Amino acid sequence: MAKTPGALLGPVPFADVEADSGLVSSVPEHLPEEHADADLVSALPSAPRPNKGLLNLRFYEGIWLPEYFVPAAVALHRRFEPRRDDVIVASFPKCGTTWVNALTFATMARHAYPAAGAGHPLLRLNPHQCIPFLEGLFRSPRGEAKLEALPSPRLMNTHMPLAMVPRAAAPGGGGCKVVYVCREPKDMVVSRWHFHRRLHPELAFADVFESVCSGTVGYGPVWDHILGYWSASTARPDSVLFLRYEELLRDPAEHVRKLARFVGLPFSGIEEDSGVVHDIVKLCSFGHLKNLEANKTGHLNPALPIPRDALFRKGVAGDWVNHMTPDMARRLDEIVADKLHAAGLTFHE
């Protein structure tokens, strides 16, 4: 059995929990059983891989998953049991994950860690180190035990489509809260290309673009990813908060207030008067995070040896104009509009 920290209230910085080996030391060190199933991955359809900078993908339950994540994704799909007071930050990669992780952590943990305080965890840790990555936990020994050991309320992060975490935000109640952030797809493509080029400098922009347009991209198709969370947010707005990266850029303070209300921790009048919202926005701002040592040095993780600074490139909307021809932009716009219009979802710039 994993040891639960005494009176500790979540969310706590996950890196600190990981460092406390006593928390799960009595749990045998083994990977989820799905990792030992030799046929699990090979039985799934695979996608052609036009460029070695792109990931090998396998098709599972309507989703193209990075091959190396398949056993973890299946384990997560089968076994993840949310607690009622959990909060999950969900996103398609490169759509604002790091920022929303930081804002949600700073908002939920503000009583233990005042945003203006010199000892704030986000001053010494990358936002991804503060919040456990669900599919990452399901591919690490004792990952599930660490998840269990986290004090409530837990804050977690995933790139999985909602269908892969079926008990989160479940219809009929019983699930937890989900904060989803989406981004204008053309900017997502540009951000994704720059990110993967840090490992594969030869990666062609056109190959990343084509993979997104065809839907055969890790965690894709992107429109299904967005639609799953969008539909849940319209059906169950108390369970799923749907945010847009571009709107966050326009008015971060208003979105921090929305986030706080959504997780059941609205700002008091005293907090408003003393500038707590502003402190959180400032702490998590692109300019501030980008220049912290924790975000300038080190790598994301051993499985993805990309420098952490790759998470803080430009932080703007509309950078696609510098990378796409008008024809490419029109083509992706049309695909996305065609997939999303029936659900009443559009992207404006």
Q: Please give the positions annotated as active site.
A: 159
Residue 193 beta carbon to ligand PAP: minimum distance, rounded to whole angstroms: 9
Q: Contact with ligand PAP (CB under 6 A): which of 41, 63, 95, 115?
A: 95
Contact (Cβ atoms closer than 8 angstroms) between residue 32 and residue 141: no
Quote the DSSP letter at residue 56: P
CA distances to 112, 123, 133, 233 from 12, rounded to whole Å, are 9, 14, 14, 27
Helix (H) or strand (E) holding 203: none
Joined together, the tokens standing for residue 142 give: 């004792």
Contacts of residue 322, Cβ cutoff 8 Å, sequence gap at least 6: 190
If one asks whether residue 96 binds ligand PAP (CB under 6 A), the answer comes out as yes
Per DSSP, which regions of the chain are E strands?
57-60, 63-66, 87-91, 155-158, 177-182, 240-244, 299-301, 304-307
Stretch of 81-89, 116-124, 266-274, 311-319 contacting ligand PAP, by CB under 6 A: 311-319
Footprint on residues 180-209 left by ligand PAP (CB under 6 A): 187, 191, 194
Report the nearest approach of ligand PAP to the CB of residue 313 (Å): 3
Asked if residue 126 binds ligand PAP (CB under 6 A), the reply is no
Q: How far apart are CA 107 and CA 328, in angstroms?
A: 39
14 contributes a contact to ligand PAP by CB under 6 A? no
**One residue of 91, 129, 216, 233 binding ligand PAP per CB under 6 A:** 91
Question: Between 286 and 347, whose beta carbon lies closer to ligand PAP?
Answer: 286
Among 93, 143, 153, 175, interactor with ligand PAP by CB under 6 A = 93
Judged by CB under 6 A, the stretch of 39-47, 50-58, 203-211, 283-291 that binds ligand PAP is 283-291
Residue 311 touching ligand PAP (CB under 6 A): yes
Among 286, 299, 307, 331, binds ligand PAP (CB under 6 A): 286
Give min distance, CB of 189 to ligand PAP, in A.
10
3-state secondary structure of 146: helix
Give the tokens for residue 343. 């659900």
| Sequence-separated (6 or more) residues with CB below 8 Å from residue 306 | 195, 198, 199, 299, 300
Closest CA to 97 of 185, 34, 157: 157
Query: Which span (44-52, 96-104, 229-237, 264-272) binds ligand PAP, by CB under 6 A?
Result: 96-104
Report the distance separating Cα 119 and Cα 340, nearest Å.
Answer: 44
Q: In the complex, which residues of this chain contact ligand PAP (CB under 6 A)? A: 91, 93-99, 187, 191, 194, 284-286, 289, 311-315, 319
